[in-house]
């Protein structure tokens, strides 16, 4: 570790450990393309709130589980700093992903396809976990800065809420709800996955991406769901951009953006209204939502907890920056639990869905498990 980075990591680690010992909530994040990070510490354990309070909570960090109430970490102490200069981040493309549970996962993907063919639902997202022991050299803030360097297009964040007894670390590219100080609202439809690396480990240009009908339809489900939410609140004036291919770390996705000028339209509280309607999106759940959630509860033997929920800073400069909680690892002592999911449609191939979850696990694992 470089000397400057080592001093920064040590200082932040000491503050983090004291807060943990006092059982108080805290979070650190770096917004996409930002050159600074923000580290906040709360005077309490974190407060369960309603999505409808998002515009009025003040400055802090909001995170929500896949199912359940959002948790607000108030920014009672704020530290803003410049990202350290890291010249290169090693990505271990050969990192191993556990094959434990493969047969069970593939079986449930097959069952999901059968349910889709029976019109029980049109799409469902199943997830899995990959449990690994962290190397002795692992340090949370070093990992945070490495991920910030490796994934400039992502929200990189780590947070601790005492009653969860875990630290969560993620590098997520998927916007859920964003609104700036001028009232410009944005949400995103992001789905479909393929590797952004060629056979020799080189980055593939987005122009070379080739998408199957399955992947195109998977992303279209998410876009249609966003539009349905707009219709439910009688919002018809929005700008849609895409779909287009984007790169997030070592993966490619299909992405569409939906933008609304809330001030021009005189729309109030759009962020909280859409947050309540969208979450959990079909990108992490399925369509229709309730039928997909019921199926997920049968198929998955692990608790998603914060994975596939949402997280991000709110209230700073009157902005809301909430992202879907993907590309995530839950840290408990020296154990790391990596989460990954895949969208299943009628055209899915079970073995390929398993391979997609492997690719997603490697997004973080390939950085965190590198020397």
Query: What is the DSSP-derived secondary structure letter of residue 150?
Result: H
Beta partners for 160? 26, 167
Please tell me the distance from the alpha carbon of residue 187 to that of residue 41, in angstroms, as a whole number.
Answer: 28
CB-count exposure of residue 115 (10 Å: 0-12, 13-18, 19+): middle
Domain count, the chain: 1
- Which residues touch 124 (CB under 8 Å, ≥6 apart)? 112, 115, 116, 285, 286, 292, 295, 296, 343, 344
Give the separation between CA 310 and CA 63, rounded to whole angstroms.
Answer: 5
Return d(Cα 78, Cα 5) in angstroms, integer: 20
Asked if 199 contacts 282 with a C-beta cutoff of 8 angstroms, the reply is: no
Half-sphere CA count of 34, side-chain side, radius 13 A: 18
Let me know if residue 11 belongs to a domain.
yes
Range of the structural domain that residue 215 is part of: 3-84+101-368
Residue 60 lies in a domain: yes
Structure tokens at 156: 């990189």
> Which pLDDT score is estimated for 302?
96
For residue 94, being part of any structural domain is answered with: no
- Each residue's pLDDT expressed in tens, for the chain with a length of 371 residues: 665 788 999 999 999 999 999 999 999 999 999 999 999 999 999 999 999 999 999 999 999 999 999 999 999 999 999 999 887 788 787 888 999 999 999 999 999 999 999 999 999 999 999 999 998 889 999 999 999 999 999 999 999 999 988 999 999 999 999 999 999 999 999 988 888 887 777 788 888 888 999 999 989 999 999 999 999 999 999 999 999 998 887 788 999 999 999 999 999 999 999 999 999 998 899 999 999 999 999 999 999 999 999 999 999 999 999 999 999 999 999 999 999 999 999 999 999 999 999 999 998 998 888 75
What's the DSSP call for residue 54? G
CATH number (domain holding residue 355): 3.60.120.10
- For the beta carbon of residue 45, count every other beta carbon within 10 angstroms: 15
Q: Is the distance from CB of 143 to CB of 45 less than 8 angstroms?
A: no
State pLDDT tens for residues 100-111.
Answer: 999 999 999 999
> Is residue 39 a part of any domain in this protein?
yes
Question: Residue 90: inside a domain, yes or no?
Answer: no
**Residue 176 C-alpha from the chain's centroid:** 9
- Residue 323, domain member (yes or no): yes
Residues in CB range of 131: below 8 A, 6 or more apart: 98, 335, 336, 337, 338
Considering only CA atoms, which of 299, 360, 306 is closest in space to residue 126? 299
Q: What is the pLDDT of residue 2?
A: 60
CA 365 to chain centre: 15
Specify whether the CB–CB gap between 83 and 148 falls below 8 A: yes
For residue 192, is it within any domain? yes
Residue 203 located in a structural domain: yes
């Amino acid at each position: 570790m470089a000397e400057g980075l080592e001093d920064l990591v040590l200082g932040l680690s000491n503050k983090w450990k004291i807060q943990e010992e006092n059982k108080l909530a805290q979070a650190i994040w770096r917004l996409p393309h930002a050159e600074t990070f923000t580290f906040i510490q709360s005077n309490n354990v974190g407060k369960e709130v309603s999505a409808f309070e998002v515009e009025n909570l003040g400055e802090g960090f909001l995170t929500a589980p896949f199912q359940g109430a959002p948790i607000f970490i108030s920014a009672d102490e704020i530290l803003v700093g410049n990202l350290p200069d890291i010249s290169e981040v090693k990505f271990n493309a050969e990192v191993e992903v556990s094959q434990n549970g493969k047969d069970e996962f593939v079986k449930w993907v097959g069952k999901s396809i059968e349910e889709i063919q029976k019109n029980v639902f049109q799409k469902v997202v199943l997830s899995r976990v990959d449990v690994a022991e962290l190397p002795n050299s692992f340090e949370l803030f070093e990992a945070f800065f490495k991920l910030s360097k490796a994934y400039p297009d992502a929200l990189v964040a780590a947070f601790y809420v005492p009653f969860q007894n875990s630290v969560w670390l993620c590098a997520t590219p998927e916007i859920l709800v964003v609104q700036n100080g001028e009232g410009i609202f944005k949400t995103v439809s992001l789905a479909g996955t393929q590797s952004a690396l060629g056979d020799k480990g080189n980055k593939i240009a987005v122009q070379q991406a080739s998408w199957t009908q399955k992947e195109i339809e998977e992303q279209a489900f998410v876009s249609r769901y966003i539009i349905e939410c707009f219709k439910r609140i009688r919002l018809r004036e929005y700008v849609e951009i895409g779909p287009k291919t984007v790169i997030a770390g070592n993966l490619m996705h299909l992405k569409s953006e939906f933008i609304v000028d809330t001030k021009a339209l005189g729309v109030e509280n759009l962020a909280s209204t859409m947050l309540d309607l969208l979450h959990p999106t079909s990108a992490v759940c399925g369509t229709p939502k309730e039928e997909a959630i019921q199926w997920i509860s049968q198929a998955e033997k692990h608790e998603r907890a914060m994975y596939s929920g949402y997280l991000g800073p709110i209230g700073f400069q009157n902005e809301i920056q909430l992202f879907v909680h993907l590309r995530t690892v839950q840290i408990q002592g020296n154990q790391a639990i990596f989460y990954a999911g895949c969208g299943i449609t009628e055209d899915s191939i079970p073995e390929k869905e398993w391979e997609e979850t492997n690719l997603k696990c490697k997004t973080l694992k390939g950085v965190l498990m590198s020397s």
